[in-house]
Amino acid sequence: MSSISPATVDAAVRAVRRAAIATRWAQGRLVSGNTLTKSDDSPVTVADFAAQAIVCNTLAEELGDVAVVGEETPDDLVDRPDLLDGVASLVAMGVGTSNVTATDVIEAVGRGASDAPRDGTYWTLDPIDGTKGFVRGDQYAIALALIEGGRVVFGVLGCPNLPNPDGTRGALLVGSGEGAVMYPLDDAAGGDGVSASEGRPIRVDAAAVLSEARFCESVESGHSDQTHSVAIAQRLGITAEPYRIDSQCKYAAVARGDASIYLRLPTRADYVEKIWDHAAGKFVVECAGGVVTDVAGAPLDFSHGKLLQANRGVVATNGRFHEQVLDAVGAVLDL
């Protein structure tokens, strides 16, 4: 396991925190013209572009010229002067400067449009994961991970709306070789980097009785097969209702013990998962003591560029239940 320098951790946490706070501000203020539909028919908003720009600018400022493989591309923005103004104001808010121009925005989003070299070192970024949840006013995540030689080595998940047991909302989860730590999103000390005094180590739950486990899955039935997940739960004797929550907040839920299992069951034979939808979340779960594989039990393989083309679906658990869950998944999906 490579060790990640404190400067790298600090830059990544600051980048995600800034994007989380700016997008949270934007979430309740979106109007219909703030959203467009991409060529694959999926939605993207001014906040997705702004978050990518904020994270890329912060990493560049603090770490220099790093490669970032982000979900969004400036191509979707260039002919949309109507969107650019909104993105620029959000970026200005996020990075704490004034005078962000349309050209600055295009350049900053473009910093996140690198290719994913097979054996190289690069960051992967989902500036808003769960855009549908974001637009609905529900859960979403900012997910940033570092990949070295085809393996995830560090991950940060910003979950601006995640409900905490003490009634507050918002959490920032960091997975590194030293374990998983959760920080409040709003730093009491007023800083936006790592504030070690406030970090709290997190672990997957210690549940030992499978029938009492809680499983989570996507809100969107088009992203995860919710019919087979019910059959799998029944087979495992699980009676609790599924915890349906948007985005990589599902990984956060498993990492900190709000749920014991995350099932992402393919809905289409031709859908291939993207690295930015899983890298940060899966690493945080593993650092918190959990296990993550695809539905057939294979480790997620980040050595194929932008796509997890060697995998289908995802199963994440507290580790203790993993084999039994995979057996049930295999039986129900007829693998």
Annotated binding site for Mg(2+): 71, 126, 128-129, 277
Helix (H, G, I), strand (E, B) or coil at 173: strand
Over the Cα atoms of the chain, what is R_g?
19
| Total residues found in the chain within this entry | 335
Q: Measured between alpha carbons, how far is residue 335 from residues 194, 327, 330, 332 in Å?
A: 43, 10, 5, 8
The interface partner of residue 133, options being ligand PPS, Mg ion, none and the CB cut-off 5 to 8 Å by kind, is: ligand PPS
Candidates 55-63, 109-117, 221-229, 296-304: pick the segment binding ligand PPS (CB under 6 A): 221-229
Stretch that binds Mg ion, among 14-22, 78-86, 104-112, 126-134 (CB under 5 A): 126-134
255 half-sphere exposure, CB direction, 13 A CA radius: 32
Q: How many residues bind ligand PPS, per CB under 6 A?
A: 21
Contact flag: residue 246 with Mg ion (CB under 5 A): no
* 268 contacts: CB under 8 Å, gap ≥ 6: none
- Binders of ligand PPS among residues 68 to 127 (CB under 6 A) are 71, 126
Catalytic positions are 48, 131
**Helix and strand tally (H, E) in the chain?**
9, 14
Q: Name the amino acid, one letter, at 251.
A: Y
C-beta of 305: minimal distance to ligand PPS in Å?
Answer: 15
Write out the DSSP string of 88-108. Answer: HHHHHHHHT-S---HHHHHHH
Contact between 129 and ligand PPS (CB under 6 A)? yes
By the rule CB under 6 A, 214 interacts with ligand PPS? no
Choice from 13, 57, 71, 219 touching Mg ion (CB under 5 A): 71
- Residue 130 engages ligand PPS in binding (rule: CB under 6 A): yes
Q: What, of Mg ion, ligand PPS, none, does residue 37 touch, CB below 5 to 8 Å by kind?
A: none
Q: Going by C-beta distance under 8 Å and a sequence separation of 6 or more, which residues neighbour residue 72? A: 44, 48, 49, 52, 109, 112, 113, 127
Q: Report if residue 187 touches ligand PPS, rule: CB under 6 A.
A: no
3-state SS class at 125:
strand
- Smallest separation, CB 227 to ligand PPS (Å): 14
CB of 160 to ligand PPS, least distance (A): 14
List % helix, strand, coil for the chain (3-state, nearest 5).
35, 20, 40
Q: Work out how close the CB of 187 gets to ligand PPS at its nearest, in angstroms, rounded to a whole number.
A: 25
Interface contacts to ligand PPS, rule CB under 6 A:
42, 71, 126, 129-133, 218-220, 222-224, 246-247, 267-268, 271, 274, 277
Interface contacts to Mg ion, rule CB under 5 A:
42, 71, 126, 128-129, 131, 277
